[in-house]
Amino acid sequence: MCGIVGYIGFRRADQVIISALKRLEYRGYDSWGVAVKHGNSLEIIKRVGAIGDVENYSLAEGNIGIGHTRWATHGKPSEINAHPHTDCDNKIAVVHNGIISNFQSLREELESRGHKFSSETDTEVIAHLIEEEYRGDLKEAVMKAIKRLRGSYAIVVMHAETEELVAVKYKSPLVIGVGDGEWFITSDVPAVLDYTNRVIYLVDGDVAKLWNDGFTIWNNGKEVERKVETVPWSIEDAEKGGYEHFMLKEIHETPRVIEDTLFEYLSEDIKIDVSFSAGISEIVFVACGTSYHASLIGKCLIEKLTGIPVRVEYASEFIYNPPPMSRTLVIAITQSGETADTLEAMRIAKKHGARVVTIVNVLGSTATRIADYVLYTRAGPEISVAATKSFTAQLVVLYLLALKLSKLPGSEIEKLVDELRIMPELVRRVLEYEEEIEQIAEEIADFEGMIYIGRGIGVPIAMEGALKMKEISYIHAEAYPAGELKHGPFALLGRDTPVIALLIPDKTYEIMLNNIKEVKARESLVVAVADEDDAEVEKYVDFVIRVPKTNSVFTAITYSVALQLLAYYTARKRGCEIDKPRNLAKSVTVE
Ligand code: F6R
């Protein structure tokens, strides 16, 4: 996810673009850049860091320009990798949101024909491809160049010697802002709301040309009309895509995040080079919070599918008692890549001779520099403090890693990969139950303590569900393996303590049902999370949250999304400040 903006009109382009990029910072904030046409040349500025921090900069005056705020996917955050990217002569500039999956082969081909690249990005190939096709008509050149691209892209292109912007949308969003005598093109509506509320949402395959008198849109080579819509939102609403909170928006982004992460690692085969696992005798996960819970699920998956013994350590404890690590693979899971305890655990693991892999969301973060090998999740920036979509992306990478390391027969692996491919659809189905989950949340929102129970893979799912609940609703929620209840927590049961019970459709099902009956006998209200086909459960519980049926190993995804919604609506009913819970920070950079 990145934010892009183009402007053509009567104002100073740099000022419009920088103010618009600030509105898109939630889409990426590791670096930014702007190009402005000045005479017959392009003036370009690029900086590392968030555009919100910019105070002083100097750029020549001009009324046409493009800009970008970056969330790095290829190439670390740096001035060189910041957009806009240019061709060999610095005449053509491009900003891009998306991923060009065949950029490596295109780059080699272009280099063999003498093109000089100055960045590590996938985007730069677009500028050089357009350069090769340019014969005085920018739109024609862009249309020819994009035929070579695979992946997803929203791009805006300008040329130093022409008075126009050319934009293309394919699988990444792009919106035209229609002003009076000025035109905007951007990834998302908030960027232009200071100037106009009239917008056109482009559709896949649209190519748009904007110039001083207006714009034209083509699709499949034919000119097309697109409806101008009036946006009824405030800027703040628009940044959240119409959702009340970033957390809810991010939960709803989960299907796309799963698709992007699968796109990164799946072609015919699972594209993870597991040479880092050669000769290992065990795996140790180190992580904190939600990433620790992802690690516990990773343990279930890896042990089940590969037989390799796995331990999971809190990063903050691992640093005091590092275990012997001669043939150990340490996997550090971290969304931010900046959690101090996790970084320290990684450093200690390396000092003790372990190989260190990180599963991380933020490109160029410190974890990526410490690790010997990096596996990226493709969740995009996560603004809400509570991790949601990034957790699911971690799970997807763990599934793929476990399958890649697995010694199962190829046909069985293929079957599981096929099931993984339909997870975006299954999560969309979980989201269809949102209203029912909201109603159930209203029933439990007045309690001050609750217990989550599960068995097997249900235990770490319960732990993550309870963490979400406590951190955003301030309800004291604890998770236990259901079998442990009788060894103490049973004393807490009663009318004041609801129980959230996870019924996984596997060998734990029958015994869980018995545990639920025992809980009910103590008068606790019980909310079960169970699959759609389960007709039995509702006889024994007060409410059921339904999730679509899936292989039990994949329930970690569907059940967790349902529990994220339960926590969200409970916190909302209690009037909590959901995106920024008290006392918490998104990135914990102190030990
Ligand atoms: C909870 C949450 C935290 C983080 C933890 C680790 O919703 O977000 O528990 O999971 O602080 O952060 P990362 O994954 O960035 O290392």
Residue 247 identity (one-letter amino acid)? M
Predicted confidence band at 99 (pLDDT cuts at 50, 70, 90)? confident
Q: In this structure, which residue's CA is closest to atom 3 in ligand 1? A: 289
* Residue to probe by mutation, ligand 1, list 245, 335, 579, most atoms within 8 Å of CB: 335
DSSP string across 117-134? --SS-STHHHHHHHHHH-
* Distance of CA 288 from the midpoint of ligand 1 (Å): 6
End-to-end CA distance of the chain: 30
Judge whether residue 188 has pLDDT over 90.
no
Q: Which residues are annotated as catalytic?
A: 2, 586
* Residue to probe by mutation, ligand 1, list 588, 589, 590, 591, most atoms within 8 Å of CB: 588
| Alpha-carbon gap, residue 291 to 165, rounded angstroms | 43
Above pLDDT 70, what percent of the chain?
A: 99
pLDDT at res. 368: 93
* Distance of CA 588 from the midpoint of ligand 1 (Å): 8
Q: Which two tokens stand for residue 413?
A: 């692996």
* pTM of the full structure: 0.82
pLDDT at res. 380: 87
* Distance of CA 213 from the midpoint of ligand 1 (Å): 49
Q: Measuring CA to CA, which residue among 15, 30, 397, 324 is closest to residue 182?
A: 15
Q: Which two tokens stand for residue 283?
A: 């795996």
* Residue to probe by mutation, ligand 1, list 247, 251, 285, 290, most atoms within 8 Å of CB: 290
* SS3 track for 419-488: HHHCHHHHHHHHHHCHHHHHHHHHHHCCCCEEEEEECCCHHHHHHHHHHHHHHHHCCEEEEEEHHHHHHC
Q: Measuring CA to CA, which residue among 176, 151, 169, 174 is closest to residue 205?
A: 169
Q: Measuring CA to CA, which residue among 497, 517, 485 is closest to residue 449?
A: 497
* Distance of CA 572 from the midpoint of ligand 1 (Å): 21
The average pLDDT across 455-473 equals 98
Predicted confidence band at 437 (pLDDT cuts at 50, 70, 90)? very high
pLDDT at res. 152: 87
Q: Ligand 1: residues whose CB is within 6 Å?
A: 288-291, 334-336, 339, 342, 386-387, 467, 471, 587-588
Ligand 1 atom showing the smallest separation from residue 586 Cα: 8
Contacts of 435 (CB under 8 A, 6+ apart): none
Above pLDDT 90, what percent of the chain?
A: 83
Judge whether residue 591 has pLDDT over 80.
no
Ligand 1 atom showing the smallest separation from residue 289 Cα: 9
Q: Which residue has the higher pLDDT, 231 or 399?
A: 399
pLDDT at res. 28: 81
Ligand 1 atom showing the smallest separation from residue 390 Cα: 14
334: helix, coil or strand? strand
Q: In this structure, which residue's CA is closest to atom 5 in ligand 1? A: 289
> Among the listed ranges 124-128, 206-210, 545-549, 580-584, which one has the minimum average pLDDT value?
580-584
* Distance of CA 330 from the midpoint of ligand 1 (Å): 18
Predicted confidence band at 366 (pLDDT cuts at 50, 70, 90)? confident
Average model confidence (pLDDT) for the chain?
94
Residue 474 identity (one-letter amino acid)? Y
The average pLDDT across 109-133 equals 97
Q: In this structure, which residue's CA is closest to atom 9 in ligand 1? A: 289
Q: Are 500 and 563 in contact (CB under 8 A)?
A: yes
pLDDT tens string 372-381: 999 999 998 8
Contacts of 407 (CB under 8 A, 6+ apart): 306, 307
Q: Which two tokens stand for residue 524?
A: 């606790």
Strands in 355-360's sheet, in edge-to-edge order, are 310-314, 282-287, 328-334, 355-360, 373-376
**In terms of C-beta density within 10 A (0-12 exposed, 13-18 middle, 19 or more buried), how is residue 236 classed?**
exposed
